[in-house]
Structure 1
Amino acid sequence: MVQTTSIEGIPIVKVGHGLMSMSWVPEPPSDEQSFASIKAGIEAAPPGVKVFLNSGEFYGVSPQTANLELLNRFFAKYPEYAERTFLSVKGAIIVDKHGFTPDCSEAGIERSIDNIIEKLGPNKKLDLFEPARIDPKVSIEETMATLNKYGWLSSSWEK
């Protein structure tokens, strides 16, 4: 039996599906393999319970957004699965030759969310945005205030 929990009243399986290894590896699996894995998780969930998928704006080698683009292709091919998933995406981070640099400024968060939505495409909405790292230049209170200002602290927000 699959254990469940809820986020804002939305029933979700307790064990999520992290998608990083589908794109942020030297030799990513094929779309066919990745899609089969995602579908298996969704199909194992009880009726009416969503599967928690976790992605990252930067989960890719070339391009950095490869994971989001993979999800775009998945939901374009299988739009019927969109409502059966709860998608959480990490962002607000700059990845360059020096490593990771968090950018939880208001502009950085907005830029990240806009990029995520663009790369996901029209078939799946972003359900939960997560700043990937704490930004030492921006207080957690400021970060939360920015997320709250735009309604991004709720799973029912729309951009």
Structure 2
Amino acid sequence: MNTRTLGPQGPRVSALGLGCMGMSFAYGPADEDEAIATLHRALDLGVTFLDTADMYGPYSNEQLLGRALQGRRDQVFLASKFGIVFDPEHPERRGVNGRPEYVRASVEGSLQRLGTDRIDLYYQHRVDPNVPIEETIGAMADLVAQGKVRYLGLSEASAATLERAHAVHPITALQSEYSLWTRDIESNGVQETCKRLGIGFVPYSPLGRGFLTGRITAAADLQSDDFRLQTPRFQGDNLSRNLALVETVQNLAAGKGCTPAQLALAWVLAQGEHIVPIPGTKRRKYLEDNVGALAVRLDAGDLAALDDAFAPGSVAGDRYSQAGMALIGG
């Protein structure tokens, strides 16, 4: 397994991580046996950068990792997140909480569920607009001093927030959505700020929530409880328009002798050595396919063709519902 460094002074991790959310949450029924087998297979393949969060489930994804990693905790670089809160009876009603007392309570819960004495990378999942980022990061920095957390991160934060947070305590990584069809960081200052401050970048959903693999051709391909059905890009005319984009990925992949998923991941990996994508899956066969992306090399012509196909304005629909979009870029 190739490795990459999260920031010039940060930790070395597997060049490809594993997003674990879908094993317990959001993408249809869970299969714990297959999920644990997938986690164990990831470790055997050298994919040791694992990503979870307290709100995945909620809580059940951290519990799953805690069970799966018994006896193997020291083999992984474990990331978790706090900060998104919602009413269990109305999960669509989400908010954020970055108050210091909430930070302290959240880490204790995560440590217990994960069955560990430290979290390697602890992210604020979304920025709380009602709490100065300096206060939140200050509380997170205390966790580092106490040995409960090793490195700090933010998720979906703006460039300005990154600057302010990094001035309080070094931010090791920013996690935000990034893929061929989600490229906000290239134009909103986030990409440049990460490079300038030496902050590693961790793209989640680098396969466009599975859409770029070509395996989703209609809404009927998704389970009725799959949250993607509630997002604009997977609805109506937007879905039909976006399917044309996938054809470019499929055609280029065929020419390279790889799968569409591998091509899409290879594009993300080619955007910089400070980038470590965390494609999510709950099945071993897709994990193994994703790992194959590390062997795919894209030349200037490939990159230009993909940039042309996914030019600004080519993707139809927002990546989240209106409520979800309100929580990003804080």
The interval holding the TM-score normalised by the smaller chain is: 0.7 to 0.9
Q: Which moved more, 1:89-98 or 1:15-24?
A: 89-98
Q: Look up the match of 1:116.
A: 110
Task: Please report the TM-score for the alignment, with normalisation by the length of structure 2.
Answer: 0.40
Q: Look up the match of 2:121.
A: 128
Amino acid at match of 1:144: I
Which blocks of at least 5 consecutive residues in structure 1 are unaligned?
none
Q: Which moved more, 1:137-146 or 1:126-135?
A: 137-146
Amino acid at match of 1:155: R
Q: Look up the match of 2:45.
A: 44
Matches within 5 A, 1:7-156: 7=6, 10-25=11-26, 26-29=28-31, 31-45=32-46, 51-60=48-57, 64-76=58-70, 79=71, 81-96=72-87, 97=90, 99-122=93-116, 125-151=118-144, 155=150
Shift of 1:149: 2.8
Amino acid at match of 1:134: V
Runs (4 or more) in structure 1 with deviation over 4 Å come to none
Q: Give the number of the structure whose residues are more often helix, by fraction.
A: 2
How many Å separate the matches in 2 of 1:92 and 1:140? 12
How many Å separate the matches in 2 of 1:70 and 1:154? 20
Shift of 1:75: 2.1
Amino acid at match of 1:51: T
User: Percent identity at matched positions?
Assistant: 24
Shift of 1:99: 2.3
Amino acid at match of 2:141: N
> Secondary structure at 2:73's aligned position in 1?
helix
The alpha-carbon distance between structure 1 residues 125 and 148, as it changes in their structure 2 partners (threshold 3 A), is closer
How many Å separate the matches in 1 of 2:127 and 2:69? 30
Shift of 1:150: 3.1
Amino acid at match of 1:86: F
Q: Give the number of the structure whose residues are more often strand, by fraction.
A: 1
Q: Look up the match of 1:3.
A: 2
Shift of 1:154: 5.7
Q: C-alpha root-mean-square deviation of aligned residues, in Å?
A: 2.4
Shift of 1:126: 1.7
Q: Which structure would you say has the larger Rg?
A: 2
Instruction: Describe the superposition over 1:60-89 as per-residue Cα deviations: whole angstroms up to 9, x where unpaired.
Output: 1xxx2110111121123xx1x211101100
How many Å separate the matches in 2 of 1:128 and 1:55? 10
Shift of 1:22: 0.3
Aligned length, in residue pairs: 144
Instruction: Describe the superposition over 1:9-66 as per-residue Cα deviations: whole angstroms up to 9, x where unpaired.
Output: 543112110000000034112x220111111111111xxxx71100010111xxx211
Shift of 1:137: 0.6
Shift of 1:156: 7.2
Which blocks of at least 5 consecutive residues in structure 2 are unaligned?
153-330
How many Å separate the matches in 1 of 2:143 and 2:39? 30
Shift of 1:121: 2.0
